[in-house]
Amino acid sequence: MGRSISNTIRKVPAFFPFVILFITFASFTYAGCKVNDAGSSTEDEKKEEEIAADKGCQADNAMPVDLCGEMGEGWIFCDDFESSEPLEDRYFEYVSQNGSFVIADTVGRGGGRGLRVDFKQGRVENGNLKFSFGRHQDASAGNKAVSPNENFHEIYWRFDLCHEADWVGGGGYKLTRSMTLMEGWKQGHIAHVWDGGPQQRHLRMDPASGIDEQGYVVSTRYNDFDNLRWLGAVNGKDAIFHPDSVGKWYSIEVRVKLNTPGESDGIFEFWIDGELQAGRDDYNWHGDFNQNPDNPGINAIFLENYWNNGAIANQTRYFDNFVVSTQRIGPLIHDP
Protein backbone atom coordinates (compact mmCIF):
# COMPACT_ATOMS: atom_id res chain seq x y z
CA MET A 1 0.00 0.00 0.00
CA GLY A 2 1.36 3.42 -0.85
CA ARG A 3 2.35 5.92 1.80
CA SER A 4 0.67 9.26 2.17
CA ILE A 5 2.60 12.44 1.42
CA SER A 6 2.07 13.59 4.94
CA ASN A 7 3.73 10.47 6.30
CA THR A 8 6.71 10.90 3.96
CA ILE A 9 7.25 14.48 5.01
CA ARG A 10 7.21 13.53 8.67
CA LYS A 11 10.09 11.10 8.04
CA VAL A 12 12.46 13.88 6.77
CA PRO A 13 15.03 14.70 9.48
CA ALA A 14 14.79 18.11 11.07
CA PHE A 15 18.22 19.20 9.77
CA PHE A 16 17.47 18.36 6.10
CA PRO A 17 16.37 21.91 5.03
CA PHE A 18 19.75 23.23 6.16
CA VAL A 19 21.50 20.61 3.99
CA ILE A 20 19.50 21.75 0.98
CA LEU A 21 20.38 25.39 1.69
CA PHE A 22 24.08 24.56 2.01
CA ILE A 23 24.18 22.58 -1.26
CA THR A 24 22.36 25.38 -3.13
CA PHE A 25 24.77 28.03 -1.83
CA ALA A 26 27.79 25.87 -2.62
CA SER A 27 26.56 25.26 -6.18
CA PHE A 28 26.22 28.98 -6.85
CA THR A 29 29.66 29.65 -5.36
CA TYR A 30 31.29 26.93 -7.48
CA ALA A 31 29.68 28.31 -10.65
CA GLY A 32 31.25 31.72 -9.99
CA CYS A 33 27.90 33.42 -9.60
CA LYS A 34 26.83 35.80 -6.91
CA VAL A 35 24.02 38.20 -6.17
CA ASN A 36 24.86 41.62 -7.61
CA ASP A 37 23.62 45.12 -7.29
CA ALA A 38 22.16 46.40 -10.57
CA GLY A 39 24.90 47.19 -13.10
CA SER A 40 27.82 45.51 -11.27
CA SER A 41 30.09 42.96 -12.99
CA THR A 42 30.15 39.23 -12.27
CA GLU A 43 33.42 37.52 -11.36
CA ASP A 44 33.58 36.04 -14.89
CA GLU A 45 33.18 39.47 -16.49
CA LYS A 46 35.94 40.90 -14.29
CA LYS A 47 38.20 38.03 -15.26
CA GLU A 48 37.53 38.70 -18.97
CA GLU A 49 38.36 42.38 -18.45
CA GLU A 50 41.65 41.43 -16.76
CA ILE A 51 42.54 39.08 -19.63
CA ALA A 52 41.76 41.83 -22.18
CA ALA A 53 43.97 44.28 -20.27
CA ASP A 54 46.83 41.76 -20.22
CA LYS A 55 46.63 41.58 -24.03
CA GLY A 56 47.70 45.19 -24.35
CA CYS A 57 46.29 48.00 -26.50
CA GLN A 58 45.30 49.95 -23.42
CA ALA A 59 44.42 53.61 -23.71
CA ASP A 60 47.29 56.00 -24.39
CA ASN A 61 46.94 59.25 -22.44
CA ALA A 62 49.18 61.00 -24.97
CA MET A 63 46.50 60.67 -27.67
CA PRO A 64 43.40 62.88 -27.52
CA VAL A 65 40.06 61.11 -27.82
CA ASP A 66 38.42 63.81 -29.95
CA LEU A 67 41.21 64.15 -32.51
CA CYS A 68 38.94 65.42 -35.26
CA GLY A 69 37.41 68.24 -33.27
CA GLU A 70 39.79 70.64 -35.00
CA MET A 71 41.14 69.83 -38.47
CA GLY A 72 44.88 70.21 -38.98
CA GLU A 73 46.66 72.08 -41.75
CA GLY A 74 46.12 70.38 -45.10
CA TRP A 75 43.70 67.75 -43.74
CA ILE A 76 40.92 66.77 -46.13
CA PHE A 77 39.43 64.02 -43.94
CA CYS A 78 39.59 62.88 -40.34
CA ASP A 79 37.83 60.01 -38.58
CA ASP A 80 38.42 59.31 -34.88
CA PHE A 81 35.36 56.98 -34.92
CA GLU A 82 33.65 58.97 -32.17
CA SER A 83 30.77 59.91 -34.45
CA SER A 84 27.46 58.05 -34.16
CA GLU A 85 27.05 58.39 -37.92
CA PRO A 86 27.16 54.98 -39.67
CA LEU A 87 30.44 54.17 -41.42
CA GLU A 88 28.48 53.70 -44.66
CA ASP A 89 27.73 57.43 -44.61
CA ARG A 90 31.38 58.45 -44.95
CA TYR A 91 33.03 55.53 -46.79
CA PHE A 92 31.99 54.39 -50.24
CA GLU A 93 32.26 50.77 -49.16
CA TYR A 94 32.31 49.15 -45.73
CA VAL A 95 32.58 45.40 -45.16
CA SER A 96 32.03 44.41 -41.52
CA GLN A 97 32.39 40.70 -42.33
CA ASN A 98 29.43 39.68 -40.19
CA GLY A 99 30.39 42.00 -37.35
CA SER A 100 34.08 41.16 -37.23
CA PHE A 101 35.21 44.69 -38.21
CA VAL A 102 33.24 47.26 -36.22
CA ILE A 103 33.42 50.42 -34.15
CA ALA A 104 33.66 49.54 -30.45
CA ASP A 105 33.67 51.60 -27.26
CA THR A 106 36.86 52.08 -25.19
CA VAL A 107 39.16 50.31 -27.70
CA GLY A 108 40.55 53.48 -29.31
CA ARG A 109 44.06 54.73 -28.69
CA GLY A 110 42.92 57.54 -26.42
CA GLY A 111 40.40 55.35 -24.58
CA GLY A 112 37.40 56.35 -26.69
CA ARG A 113 35.92 54.55 -29.64
CA GLY A 114 37.97 52.78 -32.30
CA LEU A 115 37.80 49.99 -34.87
CA ARG A 116 38.10 46.41 -33.62
CA VAL A 117 39.00 43.59 -36.02
CA ASP A 118 38.33 40.02 -34.91
CA PHE A 119 40.29 37.68 -37.17
CA LYS A 120 38.89 34.16 -37.37
CA GLN A 121 41.19 31.18 -37.88
CA GLY A 122 41.20 30.09 -41.52
CA ARG A 123 39.25 33.13 -42.77
CA VAL A 124 40.77 35.27 -45.54
CA GLU A 125 38.56 38.39 -45.58
CA ASN A 126 38.06 39.97 -42.16
CA GLY A 127 36.53 43.30 -43.18
CA ASN A 128 37.63 46.56 -44.81
CA LEU A 129 36.93 50.27 -45.27
CA LYS A 130 37.21 52.10 -48.59
CA PHE A 131 37.58 55.89 -48.56
CA SER A 132 37.08 58.02 -51.68
CA PHE A 133 38.27 61.53 -52.54
CA GLY A 134 39.09 63.64 -55.59
CA ARG A 135 38.01 63.21 -59.21
CA HIS A 136 36.50 59.86 -60.22
CA GLN A 137 35.37 58.17 -63.43
CA ASP A 138 33.50 55.36 -61.70
CA ALA A 139 30.20 56.27 -60.05
CA SER A 140 30.40 53.59 -57.36
CA ALA A 141 33.97 54.45 -56.33
CA GLY A 142 33.21 58.17 -56.48
CA ASN A 143 30.22 57.81 -54.21
CA LYS A 144 30.73 59.94 -51.08
CA ALA A 145 34.03 61.30 -52.41
CA VAL A 146 35.55 64.23 -50.53
CA SER A 147 36.57 67.17 -52.80
CA PRO A 148 35.20 65.40 -55.91
CA ASN A 149 36.24 68.11 -58.37
CA GLU A 150 39.94 68.09 -57.46
CA ASN A 151 42.88 66.06 -58.69
CA PHE A 152 45.29 64.97 -55.98
CA HIS A 153 48.82 64.14 -57.13
CA GLU A 154 50.31 63.99 -53.65
CA ILE A 155 48.68 62.62 -50.49
CA TYR A 156 49.52 61.62 -46.92
CA TRP A 157 47.46 59.36 -44.70
CA ARG A 158 47.94 58.09 -41.17
CA PHE A 159 46.23 55.85 -38.62
CA ASP A 160 46.95 54.25 -35.25
CA LEU A 161 47.37 50.48 -35.14
CA CYS A 162 47.64 47.96 -32.31
CA HIS A 163 47.76 44.16 -32.30
CA GLU A 164 46.89 42.33 -29.09
CA ALA A 165 49.85 41.17 -27.01
CA ASP A 166 49.57 37.48 -27.92
CA TRP A 167 49.20 38.18 -31.65
CA VAL A 168 51.00 35.67 -33.93
CA GLY A 169 51.66 35.24 -37.62
CA GLY A 170 53.34 38.46 -38.72
CA GLY A 171 51.24 41.44 -39.75
CA GLY A 172 48.25 39.59 -41.18
CA TYR A 173 49.16 40.37 -44.82
CA LYS A 174 47.04 43.27 -46.20
CA LEU A 175 46.84 46.52 -44.21
CA THR A 176 46.35 49.64 -46.37
CA ARG A 177 46.81 51.02 -49.86
CA SER A 178 46.20 54.14 -51.93
CA MET A 179 45.35 53.97 -55.60
CA THR A 180 44.02 55.63 -58.70
CA LEU A 181 40.66 54.05 -59.52
CA MET A 182 39.21 54.51 -62.98
CA GLU A 183 36.05 53.45 -64.80
CA GLY A 184 35.18 49.83 -64.08
CA TRP A 185 37.69 49.81 -61.20
CA LYS A 186 40.67 49.76 -63.52
CA GLN A 187 43.71 50.76 -61.49
CA GLY A 188 46.54 53.17 -62.06
CA HIS A 189 49.04 53.55 -59.23
CA ILE A 190 48.64 51.17 -56.26
CA ALA A 191 50.70 51.94 -53.16
CA HIS A 192 50.39 48.72 -51.17
CA VAL A 193 51.45 48.68 -47.52
CA TRP A 194 51.39 45.18 -46.07
CA ASP A 195 53.61 42.86 -44.08
CA GLY A 196 56.98 41.57 -45.27
CA GLY A 197 60.55 40.88 -44.28
CA PRO A 198 61.72 37.95 -42.13
CA GLN A 199 58.69 36.02 -40.84
CA GLN A 200 56.40 38.83 -42.07
CA ARG A 201 57.29 40.94 -39.02
CA HIS A 202 57.89 44.26 -40.81
CA LEU A 203 55.74 46.63 -42.81
CA ARG A 204 56.55 46.57 -46.51
CA MET A 205 55.76 49.04 -49.28
CA ASP A 206 55.07 47.26 -52.57
CA PRO A 207 54.15 49.66 -55.41
CA ALA A 208 52.45 48.65 -58.65
CA SER A 209 50.71 50.36 -61.56
CA GLY A 210 48.12 49.49 -64.18
CA ILE A 211 49.35 52.36 -66.39
CA ASP A 212 52.41 51.74 -68.55
CA GLU A 213 55.53 53.92 -68.71
CA GLN A 214 54.12 55.84 -71.70
CA GLY A 215 50.91 56.70 -69.89
CA TYR A 216 48.52 54.18 -71.46
CA VAL A 217 45.98 52.42 -69.23
CA VAL A 218 46.62 48.68 -69.52
CA SER A 219 44.65 47.54 -66.48
CA THR A 220 41.23 46.12 -67.42
CA ARG A 221 39.78 45.50 -63.95
CA TYR A 222 40.56 45.54 -60.24
CA ASN A 223 43.59 43.39 -59.32
CA ASP A 224 44.42 42.77 -62.98
CA PHE A 225 47.70 41.09 -62.03
CA ASP A 226 48.60 40.11 -65.60
CA ASN A 227 48.73 43.78 -66.59
CA LEU A 228 50.28 45.38 -63.50
CA ARG A 229 53.85 46.69 -63.38
CA TRP A 230 55.53 45.95 -60.05
CA LEU A 231 57.90 48.80 -59.30
CA GLY A 232 60.12 47.51 -56.50
CA ALA A 233 59.23 46.67 -52.90
CA VAL A 234 61.08 47.89 -49.80
CA ASN A 235 60.78 46.60 -46.23
CA GLY A 236 60.56 48.92 -43.25
CA LYS A 237 63.33 48.67 -40.68
CA ASP A 238 61.34 48.07 -37.47
CA ALA A 239 59.83 44.63 -36.75
CA ILE A 240 56.60 45.90 -35.21
CA PHE A 241 54.93 42.48 -35.60
CA HIS A 242 57.61 40.64 -33.61
CA PRO A 243 56.14 38.95 -30.49
CA ASP A 244 58.11 41.40 -28.33
CA SER A 245 56.68 44.40 -30.20
CA VAL A 246 52.95 43.70 -30.39
CA GLY A 247 50.51 44.77 -27.70
CA LYS A 248 51.13 48.51 -28.07
CA TRP A 249 50.00 51.35 -30.30
CA TYR A 250 51.91 52.58 -33.35
CA SER A 251 51.32 55.61 -35.55
CA ILE A 252 51.57 54.65 -39.25
CA GLU A 253 51.90 57.41 -41.86
CA VAL A 254 52.27 56.99 -45.62
CA ARG A 255 53.11 59.43 -48.41
CA VAL A 256 52.55 58.98 -52.14
CA LYS A 257 53.38 61.50 -54.85
CA LEU A 258 52.69 60.78 -58.50
CA ASN A 259 55.49 61.34 -60.97
CA THR A 260 55.86 64.49 -63.05
CA PRO A 261 54.42 63.54 -66.49
CA GLY A 262 57.12 61.68 -68.42
CA GLU A 263 59.58 61.57 -65.50
CA SER A 264 60.63 58.92 -62.96
CA ASP A 265 60.38 61.05 -59.84
CA GLY A 266 57.34 59.56 -58.09
CA ILE A 267 57.57 59.12 -54.30
CA PHE A 268 56.44 56.38 -51.93
CA GLU A 269 57.55 56.37 -48.27
CA PHE A 270 56.22 55.60 -44.81
CA TRP A 271 56.90 56.36 -41.15
CA ILE A 272 56.23 54.55 -37.87
CA ASP A 273 55.91 56.84 -34.84
CA GLY A 274 57.42 59.64 -36.88
CA GLU A 275 60.54 57.69 -37.89
CA LEU A 276 61.11 57.04 -41.59
CA GLN A 277 61.02 53.32 -42.31
CA ALA A 278 61.48 53.13 -46.07
CA GLY A 279 61.13 55.29 -49.15
CA ARG A 280 62.00 55.87 -52.77
CA ASP A 281 61.68 58.88 -55.06
CA ASP A 282 62.32 57.38 -58.49
CA TYR A 283 59.01 55.73 -59.43
CA ASN A 284 57.31 56.17 -62.79
CA TRP A 285 53.76 55.62 -61.61
CA HIS A 286 51.77 56.95 -64.58
CA GLY A 287 54.01 57.94 -67.51
CA ASP A 288 52.41 61.12 -68.88
CA PHE A 289 48.84 60.04 -67.97
CA ASN A 290 48.34 62.98 -65.61
CA GLN A 291 49.29 65.53 -68.21
CA ASN A 292 45.58 65.44 -69.06
CA PRO A 293 43.77 67.30 -66.24
CA ASP A 294 40.62 65.25 -66.90
CA ASN A 295 42.39 62.07 -65.81
CA PRO A 296 42.09 61.20 -62.12
CA GLY A 297 44.96 61.37 -59.68
CA ILE A 298 45.13 59.61 -56.32
CA ASN A 299 41.50 59.06 -55.32
CA ALA A 300 41.08 56.13 -52.93
CA ILE A 301 42.57 54.72 -49.72
CA PHE A 302 41.65 51.36 -48.21
CA LEU A 303 42.06 50.01 -44.67
CA GLU A 304 42.17 46.24 -44.97
CA ASN A 305 42.19 42.99 -43.00
CA TYR A 306 42.79 40.45 -45.74
CA TRP A 307 44.91 37.44 -44.75
CA ASN A 308 45.95 35.75 -48.00
CA ASN A 309 46.13 32.17 -46.71
CA GLY A 310 43.57 32.56 -43.95
CA ALA A 311 44.23 33.82 -40.43
CA ILE A 312 46.30 31.34 -38.42
CA ALA A 313 44.45 32.01 -35.15
CA ASN A 314 41.48 33.80 -33.60
CA GLN A 315 42.98 37.15 -32.64
CA THR A 316 42.27 40.87 -32.60
CA ARG A 317 43.76 44.15 -33.76
CA TYR A 318 42.59 47.76 -33.56
CA PHE A 319 42.60 50.93 -35.67
CA ASP A 320 42.03 54.53 -34.65
CA ASN A 321 42.48 58.13 -35.87
CA PHE A 322 42.45 57.85 -39.66
CA VAL A 323 43.55 61.14 -41.29
CA VAL A 324 44.07 62.04 -44.97
CA SER A 325 46.00 65.20 -45.84
CA THR A 326 47.89 67.07 -48.53
CA GLN A 327 50.67 67.80 -46.02
CA ARG A 328 52.73 65.81 -43.54
CA ILE A 329 50.57 64.86 -40.53
CA GLY A 330 52.88 63.38 -37.88
CA PRO A 331 52.13 61.05 -34.93
CA LEU A 332 49.71 63.59 -33.33
CA ILE A 333 50.46 62.55 -29.77
CA HIS A 334 51.17 65.06 -26.98
CA ASP A 335 52.49 65.00 -23.42
CA PRO A 336 49.79 63.68 -21.07
Query: DSSP string of 254-271?
Result: EEEEPPPTTSS-EEEEEE
Per-block mean pLDDT, blocks of 10 residues, the chain (336 long): 37 44 42 40 53 70 92 97 96 98 97 97 98 97 96 98 97 98 98 96 98 98 98 98 97 98 98 98 98 97 98 97 98 75
3-state secondary structure of 163: strand
DSSP classification of residue 142: H
Write down the pLDDT at residue 56. 73
Write down the pLDDT at residue 333. 82
Provide the whole-model pTM: 0.84
Write down the pLDDT at residue 43. 63
Contact 297, 153 (CB under 8 A): yes
Q: Where are the beta strands (DSSP E) in 182-232?
A: 187-196, 202-209, 229-230
Write down the pLDDT at residue 6. 37
Write down the pLDDT at residue 297. 98
> What residue ranges define each of the domains in the chain, with the CATH number in brackets?
60-325 (2.60.120.200)
Write down the pLDDT at residue 233. 97
